[in-house]
Structure 1
Amino acid sequence: TPTPTRRRATTTRRATRTRAAADPMAVEDGTIDLVVSTEAAKKTLQFDKVTVNEAEGPVIFVTGVAIGSEAEAAGVTPGQRLVAVSDPINDGELWFLDGSERLAFVLDAIRSAQNRPETTIIVETEVSITKELVDRARGVDTEEEARAAAAKA
């Protein structure tokens, strides 16, 4: 199968679909291309969605990776952005995310792939979503902000 086309999606572009990667754990162009059993994808990975800044728009990112899983062995860690998943409709193709997708639909795409033995998940290699960014985006006071507010009072 041909190698997937690499393109950074923007919030103005619709999701792009292309053929899935042939190498089960390829690291290429700043991404980790992970091909695991659909059952493993459902059980070993967790995701969430947050808008870190308005210019970039919402992003879906990894929040949990099971210890000892294939994903952990491939280098997937919390804080990495989800770039693409196996297309839930077109077998063998990828659904590249552009920020307009609802988290529930992306999770359903992974969970509903019962007829497909393997699922491809592509994440950025860089950990760019930190707890502090998520807390700030959601309006959660950090400990430092709470102490500073208490000191002013």
Structure 2
Amino acid sequence: MRYYEDIEIGDTEEFGEYHVTKAEIVEFAEQYDPQPFHTDEAAAEDSAFGQLVASGWHTASICMRLLVDGPMQDRAGMGARGVDELRWHQPVTPGDTLSVRTEVLEKRVSESDPTRGYVDTKLEGINQNGEVVISWIGLEMVARRNSGAE
């Protein structure tokens, strides 16, 4: 298990691989983001995207799944305080394969609860061409192994 003390500013990781299908783009969008360029190929051709694209929320969900299946499995995570700077850089289309890259930007011990620390990590979702499609800064809470030490 990796605790707050095991995480260093500048730590980077690349992981995961997820193949995005047309069927799941439409299924997700029909339930959560039913805009025509996510649900209807013909309508999507007349949109600013020119083709069917995944909802940004779907893209975020895929990256979150890769994060949970990846480095979060062995981290003493306690949830998150939120995300900052969420950006969709490029549309995700059927057939894209996504992976994730993370970098620890900042960490500090909680002033109100010395049993946890705050770790701010930049996440980038990357497609098969090496292009960043989404990014955010996750504001994670991580348990401390030794709450009496920095």
TM-score normalised by the chain length of structure 1: 0.23
Looking at CA atoms only, which structure, 1 or 2, has the larger radius of gyration?
Answer: 2
Using structure 2 for the length normalisation, give the TM-score: 0.24
Q: Which has the higher strand share?
A: 2
